[in-house]
Structure 1
């Protein structure tokens, strides 16, 4: 959520009359993230978030916005997109797709404890179940096909050890994706980017998941692995905190039990989740786009996590596997 496209208050008020929100009173850019231009806006009807999409197009966006609307209508705590007078959730602003969504209460919990992880696990399972009957199908656009296309473009920037690591892991993940075990995993809409800064809390009360613009249809277990790899680790070392891991998994399992196939796939999926973000951070770091307030993430964080997930003796999920 950097700012690639500037929007003034005058720009906003020329565009806003189509929405039932009254006049805009203030706008300020959101500095975190690296994909879209995001702003907090204050209107006569309250506070909202404006997003201008820098990579996604008008054909891709209905999946994300309608998924958020679908989840919100089912009681999942997510931002609700606001339709204009024509019923459209996505409208051009400065020639780019743009949307307004409700602003969640609270703030991100950057130092989560076990109780926060339990809340996230519970809501993630509820979200997966609520998305089962969502009618639009769109793949996770940052999954295997993107990895295979992107790896050759970044190898030149890596030292020999990391080139070898990246080539070995893309081979491992390609082979894993072809297995019967992987093919049998339960799939549906996933958030795919549920990091600490994409969840809001008011104290210990979870108030919502947001930033669904990496969502897609993928294995639910991948979503769990992405979440565990951020919420349940020591940020300095990348080591898993087993109290937080087990608390999150138990909370998820209480709502949507893990399957035996998921138990068997847990270790390779933790590797997949680490690899996805190492690769994307390498790509963003060495091939950045111009943006105001843009600071690419350090790729070494997920390189470290990937190496740990490869070499650690990680358990499957036997204590959580369905009978």
Structure 2
């Protein structure tokens, strides 16, 4: 959500005529995030978010946008894409794919308590179930294949301790992903990036999940692990907060019960989720792209989390 592609209100005015939103009244760049160019868009019909996609192409984008449309229609709290007068959800702007989605109310809860974690857990389970009949398929583009691609790129930039950790964990995850246990895990569309800043709350009331542009088809347990590794940790140490973990997992389990296979896979999946974000942050740090508003995230945060998940067993999926 950095700004890689500059767009002015004058650029947007003729383009927005194809949408049922009236005239554009204001446009403001959003500084957080590192993947796409995002803007708050005010129109005669209300508040929206305009996204210009910097990496995803016209062939990939229907998966994300139709998934959001599918989930919204089933009562999952997500932004609804706005179709143009031809029914298209993604149209060119400045020569790149662009889309408009509804703007969620509220703000991100950056100091979550157990009540917030429980709300996220319940809605994530509802989202997983709602996606079971989604007809499109796309793999998680930041899954194991991407880890194989990115690892040799970042390894030369690491010190010995980090180098050894990355190589060791990649070997561990290759074995885990190739196991019979892994292949038995339930799968479907996942958000894959459900961090605190991708969820909105109004007080203790969850108002929606957003930023689905890392979504793909993967194990549901991976989505759970990614979310727990952000919502339920002490940010300084990476140590899990048991009260928040328990609130999240119990609320999820009440909607979509965990399986025995998922319980067995829980510890290695938490490590997989930590590895995925440590590796992507290493890549973004050492292979940066230019943007008007871009602050790469610190890789050391997820290195700490990965080391902690290796050293300390997490609370069980179901008490």
Same fold (TM > 0.5): yes
What's the counterpart of residue 232 of structure 2? Answer: 232
What's the counterpart of residue 170 of structure 1? Answer: 170
What's the counterpart of residue 201 of structure 1? Answer: 201
Q: 1:14: how far off?
A: 1.5
Which whole-Å deviations, capped at 9, do the CAs of 1:174-221 have from their partners, x for residues lacking one?
Answer: 110011110000000000000000000000000000000000000000
Show the 5 A alignment for 1:64-103: 64-103=64-103
Aligned residues between the structures:
319
Which whole-Å deviations, capped at 9, do the CAs of 1:75-106 have from their partners, x for residues lacking one?
Answer: 10000000000100000000000000000000
* Distance of 2:315 and 2:96 partners within structure 1: 46
Which whole-Å deviations, capped at 9, do the CAs of 1:114-144 have from their partners, x for residues lacking one?
Answer: 0000000000000000000000010000000
* Distance of 1:19 and 1:200 partners within structure 2: 25
* Distance of 2:87 and 2:248 partners within structure 1: 38
* Distance of 1:110 and 1:56 partners within structure 2: 28
* Distance of 1:73 and 1:316 partners within structure 2: 33
Q: 1:311: how far off?
A: 1.0
What's the counterpart of residue 119 of structure 2? Answer: 119
Show the 5 A alignment for 1:148-187: 148-187=148-187
Show the 5 A alignment for 1:276-315: 276-315=276-315
Contact in 1 for aligned 2:250/2:318 (Cα 8 Å): no
Contact in 1 for aligned 2:90/2:98 (Cα 8 Å): yes
What's the counterpart of residue 110 of structure 1? Answer: 110
Which whole-Å deviations, capped at 9, do the CAs of 1:62-86 have from their partners, x for residues lacking one?
Answer: 0000000000000100000000001
Which whole-Å deviations, capped at 9, do the CAs of 1:133-180 have from their partners, x for residues lacking one?
Answer: 000010000000000111001101100110010011111101100111
Q: 1:315: how far off?
A: 4.5
Matched, 1:246 2:246: yes
* Distance of 1:3 and 1:313 partners within structure 2: 40
Contact in 2 for aligned 1:264/1:317 (Cα 8 Å): no
Contact in 2 for aligned 1:264/1:316 (Cα 8 Å): no
Deviating above 4 A after TM superposition, structure 1's stretches of 4 or more consecutive aligned residues are: none
1:131 partner SS: helix
Q: 1:316: how far off?
A: 3.8
* Distance of 2:270 and 2:88 partners within structure 1: 38
Contact in 2 for aligned 1:195/1:231 (Cα 8 Å): yes
Q: 1:41: how far off?
A: 0.5
CA distance 1:180–1:13, change in 2 (3 Å) = same
Q: TM-score, normalised by structure 1?
A: 0.98
Q: 1:317: how far off?
A: 3.0
Q: TM-score, normalised by structure 2?
A: 0.99
